[in-house]
Structure 1
Amino acid sequence: MKPVWLCLPALALPAGAQPAPAPADRPITFPGFNGFLLHASVRAGGAHPYFAVMVAGSGPTDRDWSNPMIPVASHAGRDFAGWLQAQGIGSLRYDKRFIGSRDPKLDISLDAQMGDLKAALAAARALPEARGKKLLLVGHGEGALLSLLAAGGADATLLLALPGRDMATTIKEQLRPQLPPEKAAANLAYLDQVFQAIRRNQPTPEPGTDVYPAMGRLAKGLMAPETLDFVRDTLDLDPWTLAARLTGPAAIVWGDRDVQTWRPATVPASYHGAVIDLPEANLLLRRETRPRAELSPASAMTAYGDSTPLADLAPLAAWLKGLK
């Protein structure tokens, strides 16, 4: 069933009256792994019994889910925090340790990033906005995978756009439809060589003449020295093995127009939480009305910006309402 969209008339305000200002973020800092200072934004909630800690997605994605690779201004994480606030749920969202850093020697290992996430949960518990609340861990994309590793530190888990397979398989599935059939075998075989080199701590393999330059650049990015340890530690993590360990309330959410992470054909029976499908929702939970078959990763980004509203999140709102 497609979501119903309502056009609401503008409110007639008394002369001289101004609309109430939107609730503002409260900036804070807190010490992460090994005391590294992390920057965050806090929003107060309402009567809902939970307070959310939000973990952003992969790469240079900041606390607002902004990413320099997105060609339009995009703050979907900030907007989602506002949506949570409208459900009565306050939140803390934080920048990963490497956001804004130019230090190539900065520790961004899995241990460091997991330490930061656990520090964010501890910081949230100490906030006045979270006093008396349970914690809801909200991860997006790669942040959902990291949230699975840290779920024991929260009371409930919400996984948005969780990769349905391990990282290596997900990357191949993302790239396969972008490759011409006559070039796919050579390029995907090269990608497998890169994955093996990562696992075995070997040098970056040289691409053959049938391998696209973009694939060679991807290999160098995956094997960049400053991020190689993190990639190696997460490359083969199976999200379903981790999801089977969840003990508290949990939900996995996918948009049906997401061309980067999507619901697998079968959700393993070992996962006992909720599965929520959002119609006409893209990777960033914004509204996408174009058919998924017509979208590519590049064209999909045109609907990632702030001018595109969030999708109809009513199915997620219903799950949140039921959290006790």
Structure 2
Amino acid sequence: MRKFAFVFSLVAMFFLLLTACSKEKEEAPEMGSLENIKGVWEGSINIPDQPLPIIVEFEADQGMISIPIQGLNDYPLTNAKLNGADVFFDMNIQGQKLTFDGKVEQEKIIGTFTQQGQTFPFELAKGSKEEEVEENRLVEVKVEGGMMSGQLEIPDGQGPFPLMVIIAGSGPTDRNGNSIALPGKNNSLKMLAEDLAKEGVATIRYDKRGVGKNMSLASKEEDLRFDHYIDDAAAWVQLAKEDARFSNVGIIGHSEGSLIGMVASQKADADVFISIAGAGRPIDEVLLEQLQVQLPANLLKESTEILEKLKQGEQVKTVSPELQSVFRPSVQPYMISWLQYDPAEQLQKLNNPILLVNGNTDIQVPVKDAELLHEAKKDSELLIVDNMNHILKEAPADREGNIATYSNPDLPLAKGLIDGIVEFLEVHVK
């Protein structure tokens, strides 16, 4: 437990230093030539049980680092140098140096991160913070803080077409269903959009504020609210309703996006709603269920007490170092706003056609959650897809084999998912 506590303390201190100094002026950087590694690199510092996702962008003579989970964007590096295959970069924060020392190996940078004499491995892969998208597939909508970018998939042929707004799940999950918090890509939401287009259904999918193409919309973590996500989703529905290319407009919400989609459907009067792997219980119940298999009794008791306070709208100033990643003070306002919404209650408020989808090998949101939602809204339709896991791929029930699919973009979507969605839409939209 002592080692466990130290790791979390180190992570919390790293976050605190970055946040506190994000507006300070940096020393004039000494830069080496970075031309051969110019571009965006994505990966993580591999702290045991708590990998820290990072994005590093190198230009010809400088570099920047982003930590989306913490709302830290384009923080300047103090030094960045490339000598053959050896790459070195660091940050000088409040007199403390954080260093990355590694080697370029094909399309990866692998090395060691050092802070206060403690070292952890890190790995980055060549990527793109903003994937290239054909101009005619880019759409924008005005939201709080500026313009939000989305990606349109539209079927071939003559419209108008039904359109579904796809909402991604929690954390730094992007419009394609990928997260820099996890190794590799699965492209689940990208496949969903492309497969629906083949069946005559248009879609808009988008990176949430603070993620990918919409990273510039990130605010301080303590200023983010669940309602921001709801308002963003509603804005996309309203935009599509004003477009003559589309007939009916609905929402597909995946995981956390399911609850967002329920409330946004009410706000924007969506024509249909589809929940995929959405929780059927308030988030405190789901979170405690997940923490029960990870925490000792004392930390589980503290977590329960914290959640009780948050549910009452009260913030908790003192949080054990081991729980900072979940309950750090800066994330508590968001959790308070999230806890105000009960999925079953929100679903009951909808009067439009509803399809509830879950996979029977989902190890994150079990089938019982879809059944709870179905019980709460008896006129909804329920679709349980055989062998489908949380990222919409066919997977074994065992955890190791299931998780392996999360980083395999070559796996197709589970059989029966697209057919079930299309059959539902054919009945309820034109």
- TM-score tier, shorter chain, comes to 0.7 to 0.9
List per-residue Cα deviations over 1:193-213 (Å, max 9, x = no partner): 221343443334343xxxxx6
1:87 aligns with 2:199: yes
Match of 2:285 among 169, 191, 208: 169
List per-residue Cα deviations over 1:262-293 (Å, max 9, x = no partner): 222753534021111011111111111x12xx
Q: Counterparts of 2:248 and 2:322 in 1: how far apart (Å)?
A: 45
Alignment-derived partner of residue 428 in structure 2:
323
8 Å CA contact 1:194–1:204 kept in 2: the answer is no
Supply the AA of the counterpart residue of 1:30: V
Equivalent position SS for 1:177: coil
Which residues of 2 match residues 79-158 of structure 1 at below 5 A?
79-99=191-211, 100-101=215-216, 103-104=219-220, 107-130=223-246, 133-152=247-266, 153-158=269-274
CA drift at 1:150: 1.6
Which has the larger strand fraction?
Answer: 2
Q: Counterparts of 2:359 and 2:221 in 1: how far apart (Å)?
A: 37
RMSD: 2.5
List per-residue Cα deviations over 1:26-70 (Å, max 9, x = no partner): 01222113x521010001136685211111111111111211112
Supply the AA of the counterpart residue of 1:263: V
Query: In 2 relative to 1, CA 175–300 (structure 1 residues): closer, same or farther, beyond 3 Å?
Result: farther
**Please, which runs of 5 or more residues in structure 2 have no aligned partner?**
1-132
Alignment-derived partner of residue 246 in structure 1:
350
1:269 aligns with 2:379: no
CA drift at 1:216: 4.2
Alignment-derived partner of residue 399 in structure 2:
295
Alignment-derived partner of residue 19 in structure 1:
none
State TM-score, norm by structure 2: 0.60
Query: In 2 relative to 1, CA 186–300 (structure 1 residues): closer, same or farther, beyond 3 Å?
Result: farther
Query: In 2 relative to 1, CA 172–106 (structure 1 residues): closer, same or farther, beyond 3 Å?
Result: closer
8 Å CA contact 2:225–2:338 kept in 1: the answer is no
Supply the AA of the counterpart residue of 1:317: V
1:38 aligns with 2:148: yes
CA drift at 1:233: 1.2
Q: Counterparts of 1:236 and 1:110 in 2: how far apart (Å)?
A: 9
Moved beyond 4 Å, runs of 4+: 46-49
Supply the AA of the counterpart residue of 2:404: T
CA drift at 1:234: 1.1
Alignment-derived partner of residue 409 in structure 2:
306
Q: Counterparts of 1:89 and 1:160 in 2: how far apart (Å)?
A: 17
Q: Counterparts of 1:103 and 1:246 in 2: how far apart (Å)?
A: 31
8 Å CA contact 1:97–1:108 kept in 2: the answer is no
List per-residue Cα deviations over 1:73-106 (Å, max 9, x = no partner): 2321111101111221001111212212465279
Supply the AA of the counterpart residue of 1:319: F
Supply the AA of the counterpart residue of 2:405: A
State TM-score, norm by structure 1: 0.78
Supply the AA of the counterpart residue of 1:42: L
Supply the AA of the counterpart residue of 1:157: F
CA drift at 1:238: 1.4
8 Å CA contact 2:138–2:151 kept in 1: the answer is yes
Equivalent position SS for 2:292: helix
Alignment-derived partner of residue 201 in structure 1:
314
Supply the AA of the counterpart residue of 2:402: A
Equivalent position SS for 1:264: helix
Q: Counterparts of 2:341 and 2:389 in 1: how far apart (Å)?
A: 24
Q: Counterparts of 1:127 and 1:69 in 2: how far apart (Å)?
A: 35
Q: Counterparts of 2:361 and 2:238 in 1: how far apart (Å)?
A: 35
8 Å CA contact 1:286–1:308 kept in 2: the answer is yes
Alignment-derived partner of residue 170 in structure 2:
58
Equivalent position SS for 1:92: strand
CA drift at 1:236: 4.6
**Please, which runs of 5 or more residues in structure 1 have no aligned partner?**
1-22, 208-212
CA drift at 1:128: 5.0
Q: Counterparts of 2:367 and 2:221 in 1: how far apart (Å)?
A: 36
Which structure has more relative contact order (CA 8 Å, sep 6+)? It is 1
Q: Counterparts of 1:301 and 1:72 in 2: how far apart (Å)?
A: 11
Q: Counterparts of 1:115 and 1:216 in 2: how far apart (Å)?
A: 28
CA drift at 1:321: 2.9
8 Å CA contact 1:71–1:302 kept in 2: the answer is no
